[in-house]
Amino acid sequence: MSNVPEDVVELFRKRTRSPLRPRSSDLIQAIFPMFRQSKPHDGALILGEAEQWGRDVFIIAQQKPKPENLRTREDLAKLNHGMLTASDHSAIHRFLREAAAARARGRPVSIVTLIDTYGADISLESAKDFQAFFISHLILDFLTIPIPTVSVIIGEGGSGGALAIQMTDCRAQFDDALYATAPPESLAAIIFRDASKVREALIISKSTAPELKVLDIIDDVLPSPKSVSDVQGYARVLENYLERTVKDLGRRKIATLINIRRSRARAFGLYVQDSALKSTSWASLFRLKPLKNKVFQAPPDLKIINPESSGSIHSDEDWDRQVPFAPKGDYVRCGDMSLKNSGEEKGCGALIPLSEFVANHYVCPECGRGRIMGAIGWINCLTDQDSFREMNRDLTVHHLLHPNLLTEDYKNFIKKQDQKSSFHEALVTGEATIHGQPVALAVSEFYYAGGTMGVVFGEKFHRLSEYAISKNLPLVSLCCSGGARVLEGTPALMQMTKSINSVTRLKRFGLPFISVLGDPSTGGAIASYAALGDVILAEPQALVIFTGPRVMAARGFPVNEDDVRAGALSKNLFRIYDNLEFFGNIRGIHEIAERKNLKGVIFKYLEFYRATQPASNRYWK
């Protein structure tokens, strides 16, 4: 890339974010003279068709605003920075169905997507319309659609907003474009608490085209012209690539393309040359281990009141010991449970015996307000006592992540997380029983890195799904996550695709998948596997949103958390039924249940699935 500055910040500011950079509409106009645009979607989404290269080309493009479109604040709000809304994603779903229908009529069809966005729209309106669910279902569509697909990152690829239309058969990126888990300023604010550290964030995120090609996130790096405003220069390169790629894919069998998609999704995150891991047999990967009396684990920052000592304790115990507490002497106060004293907790102020608080699964018996619960708490809540046996307990980032991605910042971060949790990662997997019925179980560990998805998270979820298939078991997952592990860079974002691919495997084998949404269910987890449950359950106060309220507020969007709590979102169920054209296969949250009742509700659906299976095909006898 001789014409692009070597400094990644210069690349970002002068090339990727340049207001003079060609937009999708410029490139489409230059490449597709017969382009027929579908109904416009507020300028941020372009959909249309063109007959070219002997095929019907269905084009999906994200459009950042042009300088001439930004004369007023109203213009800016309308164009939404090129971030697609839930309504835009709904339109893409319908457009993909149109493409599939055209293929069914015997037409040779290809799909081309052009990516240029900061990320998905984070407005409250999109959140209430299940933005995260749309992203998940779009990734699923691109993994399974029986049409050749091509994607090109022409400018900026941000977060799930880009990933939703990037999981294609062939993937390219201009050498002056960037693709990351979030906009660089947001990454800097998350990682360093300093939005000005853009360079450091870009280095960690591995966002450049050459880096992404090494990670197999893209296939081809396209050379950019010398001038960032050279529309024809960009268009010539893009047209040559698209023509060659579309024709090549058109000669391949659809079944072959879909199998390659699955294989690539499966491989995301497996970058390290670890001979010990490679030599491990599947039998040992499926080996189960008991939890060793992990009955109670206090949250790392739980403020426990002891009237006799007038103090509080901070409990961080090792693996083999239970956390001791005096049932009659220790208490917690609803609304004042954190040692951080942030002042953001809400509660009724009731003084609750710690034993009663734990027995009620960290929920205040007076007002019903719950506290975020770790994996042990959720395992005790959802499964029969002492029935859970863990799988892949010792799998860590050191087994999977390429050494170049294990930065000093990340190593220090991991050390801190190891002190907060008895588990080694943010997902705990294994087998358990629920009222005597065996299930494969995946539980988020919020105490480890906020339950964030990284390469180990994705790999453990995949291995659990394979275990469920091998044992003919239903899979139950408990989501309690803060999003993608930004310190792992773009590979963490790819775990959304990997986990969705695992769910498609379960569905092909006809095994039920029950997804439970705990508080919080945010980011990449809710925009991937957690949104694809055959049945989706949630506790009433679970925060269910793609982008967290703090980020929304920092970006100037109005926030009302009550609107995106599961209890409020579940009321949209009948609105979904009345508007199936908009929501497609999305059904939102099927049922709300208090924590103490979730186990029984899960069992209800397990019994239903069992009763509807032929006797020869039941996943338990």
pLDDT tens for 84-109 read: 999 999 999 999 999 999 999 999 99
Residue 559, pLDDT score: 80
Q: Looking at the DSSP assignment, which residues form a beta bridge with residue 363?
A: 370
Residue 323, pLDDT score: 39
Same fold, 8-265 and 376-612: yes
**Domain boundaries in the chain?**
8-265, 296-369, 376-612
Instruction: Check if the beta carbon of residue 527 is closer than 8 Å to that of residue 453.
Output: no
Residue 273, pLDDT score: 47
Regions of the chain where pLDDT drops below 50: 1-5, 273-276, 279, 310-327, 621
* CA–CA separation, 332 and 350 (whole Å): 8
Give pLDDT tens digits for 470-491: 999 999 999 999 888 989 989 9
Contacts of 334 (CB under 8 A, 6+ apart): 347, 348, 349, 350, 352, 364, 366, 367, 369
* CA–CA separation, 38 and 191 (whole Å): 41
Residue 42, pLDDT score: 64
Q: What is the DSSP letter of 23?
A: P
Class (C level, CATH) for 8-265: alpha beta
Q: Tell me which of 1.20.58.1030, 3.90.226.10, 3.40.30.10, 2.40.30.130 is the CATH number of domain 376-612.
A: 3.90.226.10
Residue 76, pLDDT score: 61
Residue 186, pLDDT score: 81
Residue 324, pLDDT score: 42
Residue 452, pLDDT score: 95
Contacts of 422 (CB under 8 A, 6+ apart): 294, 297, 317, 318, 319, 376
